[in-house]
Amino acid sequence: MAHLFFFYFAGVIVLTSILVVALRNPIYSALSLLIMFFHVAGLYVTLHAEFLAAVQIIVYAGAILVLYLFVVMLLNLKREERYHAQFPIGALLGLTIVTEVLLLAFHGSSPPEPAPSGTSTPATNGVTEVAGVTDAVAGPALSAVEGNTETIGESLYTTYLFPFEVASLILLVAMIGSIVLAKKDIFEQQ
């Protein structure tokens, strides 16, 4: 069973990665990238790394959204390349998701639905629930009593403190560097 899931996820990852490069319409490329990230998150779930899976979805889905907007804004696509006549379906899906979010927001204290809980709950709910979810998903395979998130947090701030701190310096370089390379109005000021 685990093999089946692995090959499914791996196959989709390979396929969508190729599509990202091969598709002509940049919007489709961005969407394939999104599908690829979701399946990477799926791989993490099969490895019992729920926290990583959640981070993968939260961070990359957000990033893809930004990328998507940039594609629409910057690349000057032709009007017919941007949208198709899919407004009713889109509206229906959007409405469903909004209802779902509202339901979740107002019944947040009740136990989560079984289907997507493995990936989404660790980030949204408190630490105490994570242990329960982990046990439900992973079963006896995970021997640790503590939750996945706690373990990652602890080793990140103890054993792996050094790379963690260096990564923070990398962010500083990236920040300054992007300003130096991309600040726009500098030529007009001179």
Which residues contact another protein by CB under 8 A? 146, 150, 154, 157-163, 166-167, 169-170, 172-174, 176-177, 179-181, 186-187, 189-190
Judged by beta carbon, residue 59 or residue 92, the one nearer another protein is: 59
Tally of CB atoms within 10 A around 185: 6
Q: How far is the CB of 185 from another protein (least distance, A)?
A: 11
Judged by beta carbon, residue 5 or residue 164, the one nearer another protein is: 164
Q: What is the DSSP string of 153-176?
A: HHHHHTTTHHHHHHHHHHHHHHHH
Judged by beta carbon, residue 117 or residue 122, the one nearer another protein is: 122
Name every residue whose Cβ is closer than 8 Å to that of residue 151 and which is 6 or more positions away in sequence.
144
Q: How far is the CB of 40 from another protein (least distance, A)?
A: 14
Q: How far is the CB of 21 from another protein (least distance, A)?
A: 14
Judged by beta carbon, residue 70 or residue 160, the one nearer another protein is: 160
Judged by beta carbon, residue 96 or residue 159, the one nearer another protein is: 159
Q: How far is the CB of 50 from another protein (least distance, A)?
A: 18
Q: How far is the CB of 71 from another protein (least distance, A)?
A: 20
Judged by beta carbon, residue 59 or residue 174, the one nearer another protein is: 174
Burial 140-166 (b: 16+ CB within 10 A, else e): eebeeeebbbbbbeeeeeeeeeeeeee
Which long-range contacts link 149-157 to residues 24+ away (Cβ below 8 Å)?
A: 149/50, 149/51, 149/122, 152/51, 152/52
Name every residue whose Cβ is closer than 8 Å to that of residue 141 and which is 6 or more positions away in sequence.
48
Q: How far is the CB of 110 from another protein (least distance, A)?
A: 27
d(CA 97, CA 72): 23
Q: Where are the beta strands (DSSP E) in the chain?
A: none
